[in-house]
Amino acid sequence: MPVNKHTSVAQRLKEVYMLGNLLLFLSSGLVALSWWQVLLSTIVMTHITIVSVTLYLHRCLAHRSLDLHPAVRHFFRFWLWLTTGISGGSWAAVHRKHHAKCETADDPHSPRMRGVRKVVFEGAELYTAESLSEETLRRFGSGMPTDWLERNVYMRYRNLGVSLLMVIDVALFGVLGVAVWAVEMMWIPFWAGGVVNGFGHFLGYRNFDTDDASTNAIAFGILIEGEELHSNHHAYPTSAKLSNKWYELDVGWMYIRILSALKLATVRKVSLPPRLIAGKRTVDGATLQARYCVTAMRSWPHI
């Protein structure tokens, strides 16, 4: 049967058109942003991820220094599932064990015990290994979410979120979405798992003479939302505010204040700077309360 030349040409033109659209999609994605707009979008998304870790996982879930509105909690849970695949219960249990066993052989990620290079560059592997310990989860994982979403979505399909994120990134940004996704995948393991847990026990200054080697890496907690003030946190682990001196900045605390003003968060505890009252030689209720708070924060196994 003879081939219709007009049909053949039309078919080829259709194929070229489809290929051109595919290449255009891969080069720019659905939103067709410039490179600096893609960079800005990446910064915003990783910023939200860090906020989710410090407010929800750290201050709310692990230390219970902060209560969040259910809508805010669910947003943070979903965002962390999508961008990190982290289980809130496992993260909190490992972190609580770090406080309880700090700078000992049982500390999951002490640079004094394991070396700062290993903690900085293999922090994610150290966390994963400890998160699989049934004893750690049983002893330090009390009070974690066990609702239907946690059991049937976030825990059962832990890797589905980050896989879905890669599809979303490529759909939005084209081939650049692969680089965006790669940055998102390393952001928490490097900054939170490596820099805070590694350099936060190795370099910096201290405001308090604690029993561990924790340090404040820098006074301005902007990039990691206040987690840079790691020594302050080890001195007062149940405090929702990580800054202590007037010149220290805890951006996470700024977000807490905003959420509190919107009735979306309730602060349960904040550390107060020590006050020495000249000439006071009698013990009263305030003295006993201060002594109790310091002792409790340094001895409770769940912090």
Q: What is the dihedral of CA 196, 197, 198, 202, to 10 degrees?
A: 80
d(CA 22, CA 171): 11
User: Tokens 């700077």 belong to which residue?
Assistant: 273
| 222 to 44, 50, 113, 219, 225: CA distances (angstroms) | 13, 10, 28, 9, 5
Residue 20 counted as domain residue: no
**pLDDT tens per residue, range 143-197:** 899 899 999 999 999 999 999 999 999 999 988 999 999 999 999 988 887 889 9
Please report the pLDDT score of residue 297 as a whole number: 44
**pLDDT tens per residue, range 109-133:** 999 899 999 998 898 899 999 999 9
Residue 21 counted as domain residue: no
Does residue 103 carry a pLDDT above 60? yes
Residue 33 counted as domain residue: yes
**pLDDT tens per residue, range 52-69:** 999 999 999 999 999 999
What percent helix, strand, coil does the chain show, rounded to 5?
Answer: 60, 5, 35
Chain centre distance of CA 202: 20
Please report the pLDDT score of residue 280 as a whole number: 64
Please report the pLDDT score of residue 300 as a whole number: 42
Residue 205 counted as domain residue: yes
Q: How many domains does the structure of the chain reveal?
A: 1
Residue 12 counted as domain residue: no
15 backbone dihedrals φ, ψ, rounded to 5°: -65, -40
How many Å is the maximal CA-CA distance in the chain?
111
- In this structure, the strands spanning 265-267 and 66-68 are antiparallel
Residue 2 counted as domain residue: no
d(CA 79, CA 86): 10
Residue 187 counted as domain residue: yes
d(CA 106, CA 97): 8
Which residue segment(s) compose the domain that 256 sits in?
Answer: 28-299
AA identity, residue 130: E
**Token output for 43:** 């910064």
d(CA 142, CA 264): 24
